Structure 1
Amino acid sequence: MAAEAPREDNVPEDRARADNVPEDKARADTSTVDDDPVEGTTPPRRNSARIVSAVVVVALVAACAWLGYLVWSDHREDELRRSAVEDATRLVVQLASYDHADVDANIEAVVADATPEFADRYREVSEGLRELLTNGQGTSTGTVTHAGVQSVDTGSAVVLVFLDQEITNVTVPEGRVDASRMVVTLVRDGNRWLLDSAELA
């Protein structure tokens, strides 16, 4: 008698379970495996976002630095203008004021705040006026009524000065006031301005 063929219901239990796995679940498992990035790599979108962020940060830093420089530059120029007007006013008053009783003190005060070139020229002129001022008992008091910067940079400045000079001497003992306008050139020396020229305008 021939042996009977094995029946279908004798298939091992594990095989039956595998055959009964839902199709959707199998697809889900395959999709999950395919979407995982390879270890040691970064998705392209994440790289692009980092590059854009870095570019934005660099641009913001550059913009802030430029704005800071502009503010500093404006402040620096304002400070140079202010100090040029103040020093020009003081130097012109010093130049226009003298007393026959102490001519040397007047000369040295001007020379101390002048460039070497102007100091030499001023000494030469003053020597010729010394005897005239002494004999004529001349005195002068200078007052600056207005001063404004014509041009300025970190090394030099030109200031327009309006000067009133009250003069007395043996000829006009009651005194008189002479008004003049002067173009004053200053040279920067460290933290101060030096007188380089003063010419009537």
Structure 2
Amino acid sequence: MKQPVLETETSTETTDSESVAEDSIVHEQAAQPSWRRWVPRAAVGAIAVVGVSASVVAGILGWKMHDRDAVDVAARQAATTAQNYAITLTSIDSQHIEQNFAAVLSGATGEFKDTYTQSSNQLKTLLVQNNAVSKGKVVGSSIKSATKDRVEVMLFVDQEVTNSVSPDPRIDRSRMVMTMERVGDSWLASKVELV
């Protein structure tokens, strides 16, 4: 008869030890500092903030690179147009003066177009009277400044000139800064300065 009691006592002791172990686990969890519970949440929040920040930075850098590419394309287009226009501007034949002046005016805009138009009649008369012929050649160029809609180009131009006073060709070397502006889909000269 004592055995069943012993078994019961043993059984109670086992139950008590399990209960003590469970209490100790609960007590340990409660005893853990509160920061251990919010650390995983904070880590997730930090990762999200870093992810969003990285996306914003990538977007800004991508936009700046796209903008820089657009400026580079504009500079190349404007420089090519300026070189061709410099040849048009410095190549004149008194026998074809009207066509020469029309070509110059079609590539001009703004201040330069106004100035050239105002002086064209006097210049035409002078060129025809002297039987002038000139042929321009661009020997070098560089971009001075550039945006998507305005580019300054430095040009080095050799101009072979003959006229009734000097029938033997002579070379005039000049340096000019040509300001090109985007007008619709075209690049036009808005300012030409000899430097």
- TM norm. shorter chain > 0.5: yes
Q: C-alpha offsets along residues 34-59 of structure 1, whole Å, 9 cap, x if unaligned?
A: 759xxxxxx52331121111012112
Kindly indicate whether the alpha-carbon contact (under 8 Å) linking 1:158 and 1:186 is maintained by their aligned counterparts in 2. Answer: yes
**SS of equivalent residue, structure 1 residue 21:** helix
2:114, 2:97 → 1: CA distance? 16
Kindly indicate whether the alpha-carbon contact (under 8 Å) linking 1:97 and 1:139 is maintained by their aligned counterparts in 2. Answer: yes
Kindly indicate whether the alpha-carbon contact (under 8 Å) linking 1:84 and 1:149 is maintained by their aligned counterparts in 2. Answer: no
Which residue is equivalent to 1:19?
A: 12
**SS of equivalent residue, structure 1 residue 66:** helix
1:181, 1:191 → 2: CA distance? 27
Question: How far off its partner does 1:164 sit?
Answer: 0.6
**SS of equivalent residue, structure 1 residue 77:** helix
Larger Rg: 1
Which residue is equivalent to 1:64?
A: 58
Q: C-alpha offsets along residues 43-100 of structure 1, whole Å, 9 cap, x if unaligned?
A: 5233112111101211221232233234234323333332332222122111111122
Q: Does 1:79 align with 2:45?
A: no
- Match of 1:141, as an amino acid? K
Q: Does 1:132 align with 2:132?
A: no
Q: C-alpha offsets along residues 95-151 of structure 1, whole Å, 9 cap, x if unaligned?
A: 111122221111111111211432232122221122333343322111111112222
- Match of 2:99, as an amino acid? A
5+ residue gaps in structure 1?
Answer: 1-7, 37-42
Q: Which moved more, 1:162-171 or 1:147-156?
A: 147-156
Kindly indicate whether the alpha-carbon contact (under 8 Å) linking 1:159 and 1:185 is maintained by their aligned counterparts in 2. Answer: yes
Question: How far off its partner does 1:167 sit?
Answer: 1.5
- Give runs of ≥4 in structure 1 deviating > 6 Å: 10-15
Q: Identity of counterpart residues, as a percentage?
A: 29
Query: Size of the alignment, in residue pairs?
Result: 188
Alignment of 1:132-171 (within 5 A): 132-171=126-165
Which residue is equivalent to 2:90?
A: 96
Length-normalised TM-score, structure 1: 0.76
Question: How far off its partner does 1:192 sit?
Answer: 3.3
1:86, 1:154 → 2: CA distance? 15
Length-normalised TM-score, structure 2: 0.78
**SS of equivalent residue, structure 1 residue 137:** coil
Which residue is equivalent to 2:34?
A: none
Distance 1:173 1:75, change over 3 A: same
> Which structure has the highest helix share of the two?
2
1:180, 1:9 → 2: CA distance? 126
Q: Does 1:112 align with 2:112?
A: no
5+ residue gaps in structure 2?
Answer: 31-36
> Given the alignment, which residue of 21, 24, 37 partners 1:28?
21
Question: How far off its partner does 1:33 sit?
Answer: 6.2
